[in-house]
Structure 1
Amino acid sequence: MSNLICRSEYEEQITKSRDSRMEWWRDSRFGMFIHLGLYSVYGKHEWAMAMENWPIEEYAKFADGFLPKEGCCREWAKLAKKAGMKYMVLTTRHHEGFSLWDSKVNPFNSVNYGAKRDIVREFVDACHEFDLKVGFYSSMMDWRHPDAGRCAFDQEARIRFTQYIKDLNRELMENYGKIDILWYDIACPMESHEGWDSLGLNQMVRSLQPDIIINNRTHLPEDFQTPEGHTGPAGRDWEACMTFNGISWGYLDSKRVQPYSHTPQQILRMLYEVTKEGGNLLLNIGPRADGSIPDEAILPLELVGKWINEHDGFVYGKKDAKRITYHGTSNVTFEGNKAYVWNFFWPEQDHTIYIAGIQNQLLKASFLKTETAIEFEQDEYRITLKNLPDCEEDQLMGITMICLEFDGEVQYWGSGWNRHATRYPQINNGDIYHK
């Protein structure tokens, strides 16, 4: 793509190569987001510079305290690997305008200030060491740049600022070997891809990194959607990006943020939510200013990784976007002739699980982890898994996986009262709505 082409031609080209470029990503399901910047020194929120209206010169003083220790990137990668994650994405430059690499375009960077080191280089090396795919977060916004605001209405400012953004991304694409993901953020203040010259920007990126995948935050759809703060599907390849505490992407005091932080069970629940809809989970941690991992993130991620490993990497790979809810505590994902029951709350009273809505003949039911057989019955209404153990089969997390094997690719026609006119005739005549 050395010569610029129009949008339709560009999108036709990347569509042709998308399946091959996205294959590893679609199978990965789970990645680590790293938010590290001057906000890590301040310890409040990654948007603090703007939201608290800091003078540029005053906020820049936090650069003196930006001192990630050597080896911190290895610690992140080691934990990501242990958690069962397959890729990492680092904020190479957040909206505050501080670059974490040896940038010739932006002298306000981690080589000239603070740590006096190229953190991006260390990050890339750590990803390679732990066999993780490399992702670069790159903001389209820059609160320090004099043209960042006026570019929306000043043509000359727009030309200067979009060239600045293009030059920054060129450095990232040229100087660190193969990059797997480019994760743009905040295409503001321009309201269209034409304003950003996103076609020119992304064609430049792809000319340097032909296998790269790009998210949708330059006002072009590109390769995948990035819903933020929720795990709802986006209708195409998608990735839910989530904070670890629902408050901040950057570092917050571990002791105070602990009550808000995700438990291992909540993380697995998020993995279920994205897995059932064919999406990915990009879960964030915000390291301290010294690069160390916040205490509240370590054990939950280690336990999640252990669970994934004990269940033979079950979360990886694309699952069909189907869901069954039968008694509010279990759900099912599908893959070929198998259905996988995610049981989040053990049926201690009757030791029975009911599954409605599957037409196929059930051949075998077993615990995924141990392959221990489970007794079952099947009639026209539902499958009954019976005589289950007294306690949760999975003692690590309490989230038990059951594998159901059928006589063919699973045919699911839905469950619930609206599917049972013969069993609940009063529902179909509207009586239920008047009670």
Structure 2
Amino acid sequence: MMDLKYGASREKPREDAAMKRFRGHRVGQFIHWGLYALPAGRWEGKDVEFAAEFLPRVAKIPQHRWEALANDFTLADFDAERWADTAVALGARYMTITTKHHDGFCLWPSAHTDFHMGNTPSGRDVLGELVAAYEARGIDVNFYYSVLDWRHPDWRFTLENDADNLAFARYLDFAMKQLVELAERYPSVKGFWFDGTWDESVKANGWWTWEVERMLKERIPGVVVNSRLRADDFGARHVDSNGLLMGDYESGYERRLPEPWDRSVAAHDWEACMTIPQASWGYHQGPWAQSTLKHPWDVVDMIAHCTSLGGNFLLNFGPRGDGSMAPAEVEIARTVGQWLGVNGEAIYGCGFAEGWEYPGWGYFTQDSSTGQVFAVVTREPASGRIRLELPTGMELVGLQLLGSAGHPFNEHPFKRLAGSVFEVDLGGATSAGPLVFALETGAITGPVAEKEPNPDVLD
């Protein structure tokens, strides 16, 4: 292995209490909010069919005009309590909020720039209000921070000469000071989620990413940091040049998930983040975004998908320019949360079910404490029946439909097909979303009919 100064700090996943808490949450709420919520994807009467938070770059908006939006950021309908209530309705156990996005605007009154919430008409400390509201409901708060900063004069995408190196050194000092400020001003924050670290300038300064992680963990014991922050001595990101994960969990899954049969991802902690519209994180008012909202059951499928492979699912919300949550997103949160209220036993504190193969009709999850295995049926076959293939040598003793309190495990009908393969009658469709069964299993104790040999398959 290479001798790295700034590579991974460990070979195996963290097992301390703070990391176990983060891992067990499984469902989080992501929030992208800033000045981009005001134009909401529209500039000079024209919808820009691109992510709303990239509007100043895509629409080539002059910097002075973009900064002038701060005068209209009045927070007329912003209420941290209502945002936190939406997270409760979703069933989220943690929240990640954009403290500063790529345009450089800060949601807290930073001492290191004048481009912040303190210099808007309300002068409110949005981060402070959110931390108080969410923590009062038992929801952990994480901070998103973009290292990329389009506004700062010392930001560089690449480092071409000594002048670039000097300028970027000043920028990294600025960013470090802001991160120290966030850690000291909001010491109860549970994690930092970094973005904007893909440019050559950052990759050439892996030492700085190492120092940021070290600084945060010194100031906030137990804090969790994503892999997206890190680069090693040679510019490798997320995973160092020795193949080891940097940071505490992999955060490379953005609007995508690993293949459901890819068991290798379960070897480490990871998180996927997902938009509700097709491709915008900040609120986009145009039909390009509003006509592509995900169905709640698609969201449930993604949650179960991530849990089945030992990952967390971070669902993004883009509040509107006045500070209110978009009604359609609130309704999706409510529906997903109602499903979790019945079936959360198969999600919270659960993860990869060792030995259980991907079944095609949904996912298997397993409680990390009790060992209980669940079958989450997100793609019900037209026959209304599923095949449960258990690990070799194991048989199905009984099963219970979650939400049917009081019904014994052996009441729901099933039959053995062969060996460790069983068939379950789902009992018809339901309007309450995907069905979830808790499985009661045991070792096969008697003779069973073996699977019929297939002469077309060679050994």
TM over 0.5: yes
Shift of 1:375: 2.1
What does 1:251-330 correspond to in 2, within 5 Å?
251-253=283-285, 257-320=289-352, 324=357, 326=359, 328-330=360-362
Measured against aligned partners, the alpha-carbon deviations of 1:58-88 in whole angstroms (never above 9, x if no partner) come to 2112212222246522211111012110011
Corresponding pairs, count: 407
Which of 197, 200, 224 lines up with 1:213 in the alignment? Answer: 224
Q: Normalized against structure 1, the TM-score is what?
A: 0.86
SS at the partner of 2:228? coil
- Which stretch of structure 1 is more off in the superposition, 334-343 or 308-317? 334-343
Contact persistence 2:106–2:117 (CA under 8 A): yes
Q: Which residue of 2 aligns with 1:370?
A: 404
Shift of 1:56: 1.2
Determine the C-alpha separation between the residues in 1 that align with 2:85 and 2:256: 26
Q: Which residue of 2 aligns with 1:385?
A: 424
2:187 maps to 1:177: yes
Q: Which residue of 2 aligns with 1:339?
A: 373
Determine the C-alpha separation between the residues in 2 that align with 1:54 and 1:60: 10
Q: Which residue of 2 aligns with 1:249?
A: 281
Contact persistence 1:101–1:111 (CA under 8 A): yes
Shift of 1:205: 1.6
Which of 22, 34, 38 lines up with 1:37 in the alignment? Answer: 34
Shift of 1:293: 0.5
Q: Which residue of 1 aligns with 2:62?
A: 55
Please tell me the residue identity of whatever aligns with 2:31: I
Please tell me the residue identity of whatever aligns with 1:367: L
Please tell me the residue identity of whatever aligns with 2:28: G
Calculate the aligned-residue CA RMSD, in Å: 2.7
Q: Which residue of 2 aligns with 1:352?
A: 385
Unaligned runs of 5+ in 1: 410-418, 430-435
Pair 1:217–1:193, CA change in 2 (3 A): farther
Contact persistence 1:274–1:280 (CA under 8 A): yes
Measured against aligned partners, the alpha-carbon deviations of 1:342-401 in whole angstroms (never above 9, x if no partner) come to 22344564x533223532022112212215321222222620224x53x33x4422x111
Determine the C-alpha separation between the residues in 2 that align with 1:52 and 1:314: 44
Please tell me the residue identity of whatever aligns with 2:183: M
Measured against aligned partners, the alpha-carbon deviations of 1:214-260 in whole angstroms (never above 9, x if no partner) come to 01122241101111111217452100011111220001127763431
Determine the C-alpha separation between the residues in 2 that align with 1:17 and 1:259: 41
Determine the C-alpha separation between the residues in 1 that align with 2:96 and 2:172: 23
Shift of 1:329: 3.3
Which of 117, 129, 135 lines up with 1:128 in the alignment? Answer: 135
SS at the partner of 2:119? coil
Determine the C-alpha separation between the residues in 2 that align with 1:192 and 1:321: 36
Shift of 1:52: 2.4
Determine the C-alpha separation between the residues in 1 that align with 2:390 and 2:175: 52
Q: Which residue of 2 aligns with 1:414?
A: none
Pair 1:338–1:195, CA change in 2 (3 A): closer
Contact persistence 1:337–1:407 (CA under 8 A): no
Q: Normalized against structure 2, the TM-score is what?
A: 0.81
Contact persistence 1:43–1:250 (CA under 8 A): yes
Q: Which residue of 2 aligns with 1:76?
A: 83
Pair 1:159–1:255, CA change in 2 (3 A): closer
- Which stretch of structure 1 is more off in the superposition, 274-283 or 196-205? 196-205
What does 1:7-18 correspond to in 2, within 5 Å?
7=6, 11-12=9-10
Percent identical across equivalent pairs?
A: 27
Pair 1:191–1:174, CA change in 2 (3 A): closer
Unaligned runs of 5+ in 2: 42-51, 232-245, 445-449
Which of 119, 130, 146 lines up with 2:126 in the alignment? Answer: 119
Shift of 1:167: 0.7
Q: Which residue of 1 aligns with 2:272?
A: 240
2:22 maps to 1:25: yes
Q: Which residue of 2 aligns with 1:231?
A: 257
Please tell me the residue identity of whatever aligns with 2:142: G
Please tell me the residue identity of whatever aligns with 1:159: A
Contact persistence 1:356–1:381 (CA under 8 A): yes
SS at the partner of 1:306? helix
2:191 maps to 1:190: no
Shift of 1:330: 3.8
2:441 maps to 1:406: yes
Q: Which residue of 1 aligns with 2:212?
A: 201
Determine the C-alpha separation between the residues in 2 that align with 1:114 and 1:43: 20
Q: Which residue of 2 aligns with 1:165?
A: 175
SS at the partner of 1:163? helix
Contact persistence 2:346–2:365 (CA under 8 A): no
2:156 maps to 1:149: yes
